[in-house]
């Protein structure tokens, strides 16, 4: 029997409709209840569906709603499906999403547009679920565009400040570039396969596109373009730091846990196409590796706490892309899950700090908070331990460690990727604890206005628990044989192939562990022992601005475009057409002069016409 799995995205959409249409008439508690309830019900339903998956990971649920378009032989339908990969994502989206909704009930209580916020958040969750549950790439693209829209709406949530609107536009336009690449890729797929059904494409990929052909590489690279845009990787990573203009729950849900991982999901979903082209895989890995390093270094120089976390997100997703690029599919998804936990936790905790200090976001104006906000401090610390991948006590260790290992051990991996990932881990640990020491220790520069209540702290605690213990479902080989996660995904994603001769895993793990601890140590030296002050210099400025990618794009693209628009302000092409019209008007005016009301003139014209007529008749 087919389960009505469409209920999963339908519930948030219903929540959106209720809040959008009737939001202004509901009391605050009602709004929060509707918003949280829609997601919570989806989560519970997902848990119920999960019973079928636990017994049989290869289980697959499908549901076709209706035939969407019919063009010749291309007949995509609105169909949803759940396999193990999708199921993981559904749990994260609804679970972490539900916790974030719960948190927002208190966080957004003082802001205007309470109902609008929850409406947009529900809409977002609905679209994200559509994206991951899509059975064909067209429905996926529908969800893709939908989450892009919600991201725009939510970044610009405080629309009265034009800077927020600018950030929202920037996010939308930059992701649009990626979306266009994705669309071209989809069109190529339609041309080659005649369908966008993922199963069909995966099964026939080798036969239709051929292994290692230019076409396969092109398709894979185009899909990668879309993923890069949505997941804020090189070269389209410029929008994510500015997207921090939105409220903290938005940053947590959209720009940490879910939407930015849509690119990861896309690559994982269409792994069959990527496998065909080693060049594309290499590109994915290199992009991941470079991004993680560049973003990590940029995070080291930020002073806004949310921007640190934003660059951190870019960096961590770089790790996921690196894993995808070397063929460690389930490792990437594992890191996604753990990252969702700790990054959402960090963002929510940072939001709590910001709210407590009355919207102060500059870390260098904070300090000494560990006494005043103990719960938040401890949860933040647990999240940071995961981020820095401290050995054994954090879930982040297991996921990041496996990625770094596979960067070397996979048949597509090499020592360079491993080195970049390891250096990235060191820097990650450094900037994470820099953030902690500056924010929570030292002298108190801004006083605490407001202690966050239970509605905000309980989700933090839940996420902290998940972060710590979530890693234990997948342990590296040399420690124990717990492969729950990859076994669960083995039905949807191929296993990673490993080189035959390898350096011992244990030694490399030790290197990574030592480096993370060294990062903490260095941060302690620099930022705990001495009072942290913010210094600027041209070098620091360069890294602060994210390696000046914004300036680069401004000079390369924005300025020429603006210049062209300005010079063409009177629109040359328009003028050509206007000229024609003008000449015709002049002609008309000239002819109109013959209507001068003088009878003699009319008579003369008649005579002339008559003469012409006679001449024609005679000849």
Per rule CB under 8 A, is residue 58 in the interface with other proteins?
A: no
Strand partners, 483: 474
595 near other proteins (CB under 8 A)? yes
Helices (H), 357-414: 369-372, 374-387, 395-409
SS (H, E, C) 155-190: HCCCCCCHHHHHHHHHHHHHHHHHHHHHHHHHHHHH
Q: Which of 71, 572, 576, 599 binds other proteins (CB under 8 A)?
A: 599
Q: Which is nearer to other proteins, 21 or 612 (CB)?
A: 612
Q: Which is nearer to other proteins, 469 or 610 (CB)?
A: 610
Provide, rounded to whole angstroms, the least separation between the CB of residue 142 and other proteins.
59
Looking at the Cβ atoms of 530 and 589, the one nearer to other proteins is 589
CA separation for the pair 35, 128 (Å, rounded) = 16
CB of 564 to other proteins, least distance (A): 43
Q: Which stretch binds other proteins (CB under 8 A): 6-14, 61-69, 90-98, 593-601?
A: 593-601
**Rounded CA gap, 233 and 292, in Å?**
9
Site for other proteins contains 484 (CB under 8 A)? no
Cα of 51 vs its chain's centroid, Å: 29
Toward other proteins, which CB reaches closer, 207 or 600?
A: 600
Taking the complex as a whole, the smallest distance from the CB of residue 582 to other proteins amounts, in Å, to 19
Of 152-160, 178-186, 569-577, 603-611, the window that binds other proteins (rule: CB under 8 A) is: 603-611
Q: How far is the CB of 610 from other proteins (least distance, A)?
A: 10
Question: How is residue 161 written in tokens?
Answer: 């400040």
Candidate residues 597, 615, 616, 617; the one interacting with other proteins per rule CB under 8 A: 597
Beta carbon nearer to other proteins, 2 or 589: 589
Categorise residue 72: left if φ over 0, alpha if ψ from -120 to 50, beta otherwise: left
Per CB under 8 A, does 604 bind other proteins?
yes
Dihedral, 229, 233, 236, 238 alpha carbons, nearest 10: 120
> Judging by beta carbons within 10 Å of its beta carbon (0-12, 13-18, 19+), is residue 160 exposed, middle or buried?
exposed
617 binds other proteins (CB under 8 A): no
Nearer Cβ to other proteins (582/607): 607
Determine, following the binding rule CB under 8 A, whether residue 607 of this chain makes contact with other proteins.
Answer: yes
Q: Give the Cα-Cα-Cα angle 328, 140, 403 (nearest 5 degrees).
A: 15
Number of residues that bind other proteins (CB under 8 A): 11
- Site residues (CB under 8 A) for other proteins, limited to 315-374: none
CB of 580 to other proteins, least distance (A): 23
Min. distance of Cβ 614 from other proteins in angstroms?
11
Q: Among 569, 572, 576, 592, which residue sits at the site for other proteins (rule: CB under 8 A)?
A: 592
User: Does residue 612 touch other proteins according to CB under 8 A?
Assistant: no
415 binding other proteins? (CB under 8 A): no
At CA 238, angle to CA 96 and CA 534, rounded to 5? Answer: 90
State phi, psi for 413 to the nearest 5 degrees: -85, 165
What's the half-sphere exposure (Cβ side, CA atoms, 13 Å) at 162?
0
CB-nearer residue toward other proteins: 159 or 610: 610
Asked if residue 603 binds other proteins (CB under 8 A), the reply is yes
C-alpha span between 227 and 386 (Å, rounded): 25
Instruction: Identify each DSSP E strand in 30-156 by its residue range.
Output: 61-67, 77-82
Number of H helices, E strands in the chain: 27, 2
| Residue 619 C-beta: closest distance to other proteins, Å | 18
Nearest CB to other proteins, comparing residues 1 and 595:
595
Could you tell me which stretch among 162-170, 351-359, 445-453, 598-606 binds other proteins (CB under 8 A)? Answer: 598-606
* Helical H segments across 156-277, by residue range: 162-193, 198-209, 214-230, 239-242, 248-252, 262-269, 271-275
Task: Tell me how far CA of residue 230 lies from CA of 251, 256, 556, in angstroms.
Answer: 14, 12, 21
Q: State which residue, 65 or 604, has the beta carbon closest to other proteins.
A: 604
Closest to other proteins by CB, 507 vs 617, is: 617
Token pair listed for 513? 């562990």
Which residue among 564, 582, 598, 609 contacts other proteins (CB under 8 A)?
598
Closest CA to 310 of 345, 347, 365: 347
Please report how close the Cβ of residue 590 comes to other proteins at its closest, in angstroms: 12
Please, what is the minimum distance in Å from the beta carbon of residue 602 to other proteins?
9
| Smaller CB separation from other proteins, 569 or 591 | 591
**Across-strand partners of 74?**
71
Residue 600 in the binding site for other proteins (CB under 8 A): yes
Residue 590 binds to other proteins (criterion: CB under 8 A): no
Q: Would you give the DSSP letter of residue 495?
A: P
Question: Residue 138: phi, psi to the nearest 5?
Answer: -70, -40
Q: Which is nearer to other proteins, 27 or 597 (CB)?
A: 597
Q: What angle do CA 470, 473, 475 make, to 5 degrees?
A: 110
Asked if 596 is part of the footprint of other proteins (rule: CB under 8 A), the reply reads: yes
3-state DSSP assignment of residue 596: coil
Which residues of the shown chain bind other proteins in the complex (CB under 8 A)? 592-593, 595-600, 603-604, 607
């Amino acid at each position: 029997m087919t389960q009505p799995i469409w209920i999963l995205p339908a519930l948030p959409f219903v929540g959106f409709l209720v809040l959008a249409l009737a939001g202004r008439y509901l009391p605050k508690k009602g709004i929060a209840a509707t918003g949280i309830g829609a997601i919570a019900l989806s989560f519970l339903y997902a848990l119920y569906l999960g019973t079928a998956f636990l017994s049989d990971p290869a289980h697959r649920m499908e549901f076709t709603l209706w035939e969407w378009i019919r063009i010749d032989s291309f007949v995509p339908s609105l169909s949803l499906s759940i396999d193990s990969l999708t199921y993981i994502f559904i749990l994260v989206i609804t679970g972490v999403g539900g916790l974030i909704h719960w948190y927002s009930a208190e966080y957004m209580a003082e802001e205007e547009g309470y109902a609008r916020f929850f409406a947009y958040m529900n809409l977002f969750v609905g679209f994200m679920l559509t994206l991951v549950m899509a059975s064909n790439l067209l429905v996926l693209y529908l969800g893709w565009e939908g989450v892009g829209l919600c991201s725009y709406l939510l970044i610009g949530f405080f629309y009265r400040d034009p800077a927020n609107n600018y950030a929202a536009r920037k996010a939308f336009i930059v992701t649009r570039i990626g979306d266009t690449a994705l669309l071209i890729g989809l069109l190529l797929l339609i041309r080659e396969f005649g369908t966008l059904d993922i199963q069909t494409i995966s099964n026939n990929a080798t036969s239709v596109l051929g292994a290692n052909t230019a076409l396969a590489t092109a398709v894979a690279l185009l899909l990668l373009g879309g993923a890069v845009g949505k997941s804020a990787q090189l070269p389209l990573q410029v929008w994510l730091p500015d997207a921090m203009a939105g409220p903290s729950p938005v940053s947590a849900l959209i720009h940490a846990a879910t939407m930015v991982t849509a690119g990861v999901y896309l690559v994982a979903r269409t792994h069959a196409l990527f496998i065909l082209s080693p060049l594309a895989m290499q590109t994915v890995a290199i992009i991941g590796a470079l991004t993680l390093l560049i973003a990590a270094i940029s995070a080291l120089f930020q002073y806004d706490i949310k921007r640190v976390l934003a660059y951190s997100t870019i960096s961590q997703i770089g790790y996921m892309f690196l894993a995808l690029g070397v063929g460690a599919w389930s490792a990437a998804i594992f890191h996604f899950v753990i990252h969702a936990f700790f990054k959402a936790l960090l963002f929510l905790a940072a939001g709590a700090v910001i709210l407590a200090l009355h919207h102060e976001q500059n870390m260098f104006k904070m300090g000494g908070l560990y006494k005043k906000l103990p719960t938040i401090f401890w949860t933040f610390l647990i999240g940071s331990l995961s981020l820095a991948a401290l050995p054994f006590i954090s879930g982040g260790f297991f996921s990041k460690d496996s990625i770094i290992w596979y960067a070397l051990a996979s048949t597509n991996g090499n020592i360079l990727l491993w080195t970049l990932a390891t250096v990235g881990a060191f820097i990650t640990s450094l900037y994470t604890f820099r953030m902690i020491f500056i924010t929570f220790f030292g002298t108190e520069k801004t006083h605490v206005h407001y202690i966050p209540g239970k509605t905000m702290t309980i989700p933090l605690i839940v996420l902290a628990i998940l972060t710590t213990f979530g890693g234990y479902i997948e342990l590296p080989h040399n420690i124990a044989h717990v492969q729950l996660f990859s076994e669960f995904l083995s039905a949807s994603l191929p296993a990673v192939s490993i080189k035959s001769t390898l350096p011992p895993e244990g030694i490399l793990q030790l290197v990574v562990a030592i480096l993370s601890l060294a990062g903490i140590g260095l941060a302690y030296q620099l930022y705990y022992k001495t009072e942290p002050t913010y210094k600027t210099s041209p070098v620091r400025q360069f890294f602060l601005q994210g390696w000046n990618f914004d300036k680069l794009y401004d000079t390369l693209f924005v300025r020429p475009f603006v210049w062209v628009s300005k010079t063409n302000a009177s629109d040359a092409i328009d003028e050509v057409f206007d000229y024609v019209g003008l000449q015709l008007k002049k002609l008309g005016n000239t002819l109109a002069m013959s209507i001068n009301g003088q009878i003699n003139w009319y008579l003369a014209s008649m005579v002339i016409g008559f003469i012409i007529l006679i001449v024609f008749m005679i000849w």
